Structure 1
Amino acid sequence: MKRAVLFDLDGVLVDSRAAQLTTLAGYATSALDRRITVADLPSDAATTPREQVLANLGLHGAINEDGWDAATATASLHAEVFPFVTDTLTGLRAADVATGIVTLRSRRRVNWLLPPNVLALIDTVVCYEDATPKPAPDGVLLALDQLGVAPNSAAFVGDMDVDIHAARAAGVKAVGAGWGFAGPEALTAAGADLVLPHTTELADVLLLLVGAEQSSEFAKRS
């Protein structure tokens, strides 16, 4: 039986909180023609829709995506993949568990955040333009369809309430990434099946969760 673990991107695989806040401040500075710093943003800016944050700063109307891309591309240079990512993805692959990303990012922005060696360990990537965005389950279900995996043989690891809602609606195990943006309490309140406060032995936990066995090679390294 094929199994899979899907991941959100920001806050789960990539430490991009500072980059997201810098993007907001940079775009607002350009659009409002006055200096906006990260300190000027509300404390919940990283977990609030960008339209709402910008509206609170006085910027209303549609976002200029070319301008947003410019701010994002620069800010993304400061985003780093979490240290656990390569080992975790390698461990899942060694155990014959497929991996995927379901993100609200556009495809070109995903390529700015993830280096080629990490992308090579991901079997499928579903982006904003590919399916109805989370909290709808469409992106999760599309990823599973592309991987040929049934929902009851999969888990989705996310750090926001929309991730948990999407996972539950898709019928996969909803795993809260407590190290991400929203925090463990919010993920528990959203209905996560399991909330992990840290990334210690993450591959082992995920393999158990989807009912997969470790390969002998990975077990020796763990």
Structure 2
Amino acid sequence: MQALATQDVMPTGTTRSPHELIRSTALQMFVERGYQSVSLRQLASAIGMQAGSLYNHIESKDALLFELIEAYETDLLQALPGKLLILCDPLKALNAFIKSHVAFTFEHRQRWLLARLEYRCLTASQQGRIHALRQDTAERLGAILQAGMDQGRFVKVPVKTMVPCMLAMLNEISSWHSPGHTSSLTTTVGLHTKMIHAVLLPTAMPTATGSTEH
């Protein structure tokens, strides 16, 4: 089995709990082999544990998959700009949203892949929870667009149409960064910021593409 991706390895000298080890190993195996192709026996073997012992740390394989995807969507949402920045400066909030979203998917590519590829394996109720988290992310972006329009800083756009289009673009960024790809995070953030500014900002308004910090 290959070494874990950098973003999924605990800091040097840090001892991971059995649950953390199960999560990180399951993440890699589910992504590399496919969720349906990995048995709990295989997962236990990969971490040097008896299959029955896994149940001391996880409820089930299904619950483990849901936990991994829910944690990804929750962490992504928490990385995005909050309501105070949105109301005070919608343009700065927009730039922060783009940068945060790109950086998060860039740094957590395995988690992004799992959330995209194995969502279909969740139960209906689990999918409902993930959909609610994704809707919270969409509403955060929608609030930015609406605040910008209300303040006359963005051109008028149909928010319900624009939000899914922008998120579709941002959610696919991680697929650009396969091994050997040379585009840097800074380059990718700048490119997407320019494209989104071109749609939202009046032509007379400076795009301020360099202002992508929080």
Q: TM-score category by the smaller chain? A: 0.3 to 0.5
Q: Which has the larger radius of gyration?
A: 2
What is the TM-score with the length of structure 1 in the denominator?
Answer: 0.32
TM-score with structure 2 setting the length: 0.33
Answer 1 or 2: which has greater strand percent: 1
Higher helix share: 2
